[in-house]
Amino acid sequence: MANFEFVLPPAPTRNVTPRYGEQDLVRRSASSVPPPARKLTEMAKLIDVSKCIGCKTCQVACLEWNDERIPVGENLGSYTIPSDLTPNMFTLMRFAEWVNPETQDLEWLIRKDGCMHCEDPGCLKACPAPGAIVQYSNGIVDFDHDKCIGCGYCVDGCPFNIPRISKVDHKAYKCTLCSDRVAVGQGPACAKACPTHAIVFGTKEEMKQHAADRIKDIKSRGFANAGLYDPPGVKGTHVMYVLPHADHPELYSGLPRDPKISPFVYVWKSAAKRYASLAAMAAVLVAVVVHQVAAGPNRSSDEDEDKARKLIEGRDK
Amino acid sequence: MSAERHTVSTIKRHPLDVRIAHWVAAVSFILLALSGFALFFPRFFFMTALFGGGETTRFLHPWIGLALALSYLVLVVRFFRSCLWKKEDTTWVLRAPDVLAGREENLPEFGKFIAGQKMYFWGMALLFVVLLVSGVIIWHEYFGNLTPIAVQRLAALTHSIVAVLAVLGFIIHIHMVTWEPGTLRAMISGTVTGGWAWKHHRKWLREVVAGKN
């Protein structure tokens, strides 16, 4: 392993100034950002499912780096523990058992689930809090917890069902792609810890090239449909998978075949709908003012008063 | 009973419980519109400051929604009989130009509520039911796991559209009060003048005078 191409550099001990920041934002929830002066190289994490041995070191590394703790799990009949992503567990090995109908082999399909860092992030589109979700030009989608209001709209916006809302501080949590580590030239903690290099990190181009090599190897081992998962429906992701059965991504614990932002979310968050709403309210306001001026006020007269008096006094007699 | 006595300057129209429910609903509606706009229009997010910030706005909005639902429920219980559709209501709709011009001499006599009020009453009731159901679905703090995410997306979209429709109705409702002077006091002191009742709700005035209402 010593000569492995994508071994991450040792942690820097000096000059740990972040290499990117606010000035490199390309998207900011419920607000806009000026076009950044420079474009960072797109980064990506590549998860080669065929090399994963299910050791969960990535989960441990994730908890360790993010200083999170999860309670001792319960065995619900699966190695997937905890049974789902939680506000503290940003990545999760999902275990699926599948009998390949062609070979009758039992295949253990293990997928490391977590934020995919979409190029077109649904969470960011849905978020109503300015700046609570940001995207850097290197592709990382990050949450700013100081600005998060805990509404859960990011959960509805995400095509991969990733964000989780904390019951403690009511904020949304997910994988950050270790943006803090990447900012100082490191890779994500999970990639650093993975003992088989199933998780590697580098520029998106490097990762695609590495994936192509891996796919060639996997195909040579009899998996004709091996391929890269970089779904175009969200304009590509910055976490990609090498899948031996890329023609059936849903085999891997329901990895969506063609993920994209739901049309409901598109319409809900569309500028057209916002303008239509404002226009409708403005139109009705204008209409009532015109009506008030043209036809009003509709006041009762002294005559009405007299008639009412007669009616009432008629009863009183 | 002498307390039931109506005089020409004070015809009793809305009892105290109705007025309280109405104003709870009205204040709730305004707070919901402000907080809802803050969460819906990015440019109005600053209005979350009125509620103590984004997080408290997110927390308060659904609870205010429940206050609106409960207060409107009181109004439904107290008003639904008077808001049943009558033959003269269809005439009111057909003669909309006379209505808008205030030519009530061309219209039949109306009971406690005219067709416009009935449509507003039932329309808002329907919108509030949709807002309540869709709002509970997207109340992530308590019901985030109640429905599939696909349902939550549809609910969020529905909630944001129906809320705007409710605001449109609300604008017209306020306009009608200012357009017909003497209407507001019905919801403040609970009484109207005889002339107002004679002009706008003559059938109701006759019922009141006859002691039937």
CATH at B25: 1.20.950.20
Shortest distance, CA A161 to any CA of chain B (angstroms): 8
- Please give the Cα distance from B18 to B81 (Å, whole number): 14
The answer to whether residue A8 scores a pLDDT higher than 90 is: no
d(CA B136, CA B144): 9
Question: Taking chain A, what is the end-to-end CA distance rounded to the nearest angstrom?
Answer: 109
Put residue A67 in one of left, alpha, beta given phi > 0 → left and psi -120 to 50 → alpha: left
- Under an 8 A CB cutoff, do A312 and B8 touch? yes
The pair of three-digit structure tokens given for residue A53, joined into one six-digit string: 């041995």
Nearest to A4 by CA among A243, A216, A210: A210
Give residue limits of the domains in chain A: 22-268, 271-316
Q: Are B171 and A288 a contacting pair at CB < 8 A?
A: yes
Which chain A residue has its CA at the smallest distance from B47's CA? A129
**A134, pLDDT greater than 70:** yes
Parallel, antiparallel, or unpaired for β A43-48 and A141-143?
unpaired
A265 contact B CB<8A: yes
Which chain A residue shows the shortest CA-CA distance from B155? Answer: A264
**Summary mean pLDDT of chain B:** 94
Percent of chain B with pLDDT strictly greater than 90: 91
Q: Is A282 on the interface with B (CB under 8 A)?
A: no
Contact B41 A274 (CB under 8 A): yes
Alpha-carbon span A147 to A135, nearest angstrom: 15
Cα–Cα distance, B131 to B128 (Å, whole number): 5
**pLDDT value at residue A3:** 61
Chain B's closest residue to A149, CA to CA, is: B55
Specify the amino acid at residue A245. Answer: H
Amino acid at A201: F
Is it the case that residue B1 has pLDDT exceeding 70? no
Touching A: B residues 120-139, CB under 8 Å: 138
- Residues paired with A95 in a beta bridge: A110
Q: Where is pLDDT greater, at B2 or A134? A: A134
Q: In what order do the strands lie in the sheet with A25-28?
A: A25-28, A133-136, A141-143
Q: Following CA atoms B66, B70, B76, B77 in sequence, which dihedral angle do they give, to the nearest 10 degrees?
A: 160
Question: How many domains in chain B?
Answer: 1
Cβ of residue B162 closer than 8 Å to a chain A Cβ: no
Structure tokens at B40: 């819906």
**Which pLDDT value is given to residue A203?**
96
Question: B74-102, pLDDT tens digit by residue?
Answer: 999 999 999 999 999 999 999 999 999 98
Tens of pLDDT along B161-201?
A: 999 999 999 999 999 999 999 999 999 999 999 999 999 99
User: Which residues of A fall within a CB distance of 8 Å from B42?
Assistant: 30-31, 128, 130
DSSP letter (8 states) at residue B146: T
Q: What gap in Å lies between CA B102 and CA B125, rounded to an integer?
A: 27
Let me know: does A130 contact A30? Beta carbons within 8 Å: yes
Q: What is the pLDDT of residues A49-78, one digit of tens each?
A: 999 999 999 999 999 999 999 998 888 899
Q: Is the pLDDT of residue B8 over 80?
A: no
Determine the residue among A27, A32, A148, A149 to mutate to test chain B binding: the one whose Cβ has the most chain B Cβ atoms within 10 Å. Answer: A149
* A268: helix, strand or coil: helix
Q: Which of B78, B48, B93, B96 is nearest to A149 (CA)?
A: B48
Distance from CA of A70 to the nearest CA of B (A): 20
The pLDDT tens digits for B127-155 are 999 999 999 999 999 999 999 999 999 99
Q: CA-to-CA distance for A131 and A113, rounded, in angstroms?
A: 25
Residue A86, phi then psi, degrees to nearest 5:
-130, 175
| Residue B77 domain boundaries | 2-209
A21-30, A53-62, B103-112: segment of lowest average pLDDT:
B103-112
pLDDT in tens, A274-291: 999 999 999 999 999 999
Fold of A22-268: Alpha-Beta Plaits (3.30.70)
Do A175 and A90 contact (CB within 8 A), yes or no?
A: yes
**DSSP 8-state code for residue A40:** P
